Amino acid sequence: MVVAGALVANGLLLLAQRSRPPELAGMWELPGGKVEPGESPEGALERELREELGVETVVGQQLAGDVDLAGGLVLRAYRVELMSGTPAPLDHSDLRWVDARGLVGADLVDADRAWVPELSGMLRQP
């Protein structure tokens, strides 16, 4: 399983720009990564966000609908709350906070498009 986090603050969502692999590099995603053996999905997401963004988070509600990825992986997204730190692109090319319009217009990785309607509703409208 792969887990991804929707970090919303002040009506804006944090998107992260992938640096790899070549076919996904430059596209934007909800940050996260693979669940390691022995981890819970929530624990894995908190670890990934600590490693990739340098922040402490608490994982909240799951977004609706898991997405099948190539290779038999399943992608699941959660709301996450920022507890401490300021997100930094430790593993990504760049980070960006987007409102509803910015999310709809972003060059998102395909899998993450599933959550655009649900996430847009949580964000500041232009």
Is there binding between residue 112 and ligand 523 (CB under 6 A)? yes
Task: Closer to ligand 523 by CB, 20 or 101: give it.
Answer: 20
Select the span of 29-37, 57-65, 99-107, 116-124 touching ligand 523 (CB under 6 A).
29-37
Select the span of 6-14, 26-34, 54-62, 117-125 touching ligand 523 (CB under 6 A).
26-34
Find the binder of ligand 523 among 2, 45, 98, 106 (CB under 6 A): 2
Question: Nearest 5 degrees, angle CA 81-CA 59-CA 4?
Answer: 100
Write each residue from 59 to 98 as x if it is in contact with ligand 523 (CB under 6 A), else as -, in one continuous string. Answer: ----------x-----x-----------------------
User: Strands, E, within 1-115: which ranges?
Assistant: 2-9, 12-17, 28-29, 32-34, 56-62, 67-68, 74-84, 94-98
**What is the C-alpha to C-alpha distance for residues 40 and 48, in angstroms, rounded to an integer?**
12
Structure tokens at 96: 């960006």
- Minimum Å gap between C-beta 86 and ligand 523 is 20
Residue indicated by tokens 């990504």? 92
Is there binding between residue 30 and ligand 523 (CB under 6 A)? yes
Question: Nearest 5 degrees, angle CA 43-CA 49-CA 50?
Answer: 90
Write phi, then psi, for 21 (nearest 5 degrees): -70, 175
Binding site for ligand 523 (CB under 6 A): 2, 4, 29-30, 32-34, 69, 75, 109, 111-112
